[in-house]
Amino acid sequence: MRDLLSLPKAHLHVHLESTVRWGTLREIGAANGVDVPDQTATLGDFTSFFAQNDLVRACLRRPADFRRIAYEFCADESAQGVRYAEVSFTAAGHGERLGDLAMPLQAVLEGLEAGEDAFGIECRLILDHSRRRSVERAWRTLDLARRHDRVVAIGLAGDEAHPGDPFTEVFAAARDTGLHVVHHAGEGEGPASIRQALGPGRAERLGHGIRILDDPDLVAEVRERGIPLEVCPTSNVALGFASSLEEHPLPRLRDAGLIVTLNTDVPALIDTSLTTEYTHVRDTFAYNDHALADLAKAAVDASFAPPTTKTDLHQAITTWLTTTP
């Protein structure tokens, strides 16, 4: 078995606010007058997840805070063998909260740029919007995304019980201006949420999508259209959407001919990393190095990276696979 830490990886589904090192959060919190406990609470459902997110948001206030977490994201991802990442960030929500719509995004972009230079990783941003929030904020998210070339996509996140239909005009406008669209769907809710995301929602990838197997016709459609799934096994288990890693549908999704990419979602909140996810898949489903390389290549192909980046990553993965362990 080859070293999974050295496997060149693309990471497509990870939320910046949920990557913050706990020590960093405590330092930022102290500087901003927010009390942060010694360690994270155990996630067991969306209630505890939202509570953790609220704590992180309360701590992030100054440009330096946002620059730091973006820079450290680059450091931590690079250390896991990630060569390319598309990281999600709720830019408009932070901007409205702090009374400066542009500042959080600008600071994150500065941190990513510095981190890329320091750690040799390539990063792009996806601006997400909570389904629970207003259409007006979604338009503001789109306006922010249009201003920066490093932003490659926007999309819906949050509790899928809230419908996506009110936002369809926003995402049609995003596609019309050349932005990609990626929605969370098919995790908490069933195939209907996936159909909405791919139809009126204009999505090109599905965040999670694990409940697609409930509808064989939808499986066939998504397979034929080549829509990738951003699968996050440990997160699905931690939040109660899969009973265990052993029962996770990832192998059945692949067996159905669907494009599966492997991701972390909220790594700091569930004590995982992308290398850990690959390790879990290898150990739980007895995947060999060829299968793991196929997962890595699927993420590269599903990404919105430039063609040269994709070519370089494919070559690096092939080199990893053909080098004697």
Please identify every residue annotated as catalytic: 187
Query: Phi and psi (nearest 5°) for 83?
Result: -100, -25
Distance CA 199, CA 10 (A): 27
Distance CA 117, CA 296 (A): 23
- For the record, the structure tokens of 311 come out as 């070519």
Whole-Å CA distances, 14 to 71, 151, 177, 223, 230: 15, 15, 24, 24, 10
> For 62, which DSSP code?
S
Distance CA 143, CA 101 (A): 10
- Which residues lie closer than 8 Å to 29 by C-beta, 6 or more apart? 35, 36, 58, 59
- For the record, the structure tokens of 227 come out as 């829509």
173 alpha-carbon distance from chain centroid:
22
Residue 259: count other Cβ atoms within 10 Å of its Cβ: 22
- For the record, the structure tokens of 136 come out as 């007006």
Radius of gyration, alpha carbons of the chain? 19
113 alpha-carbon distance from chain centroid:
19
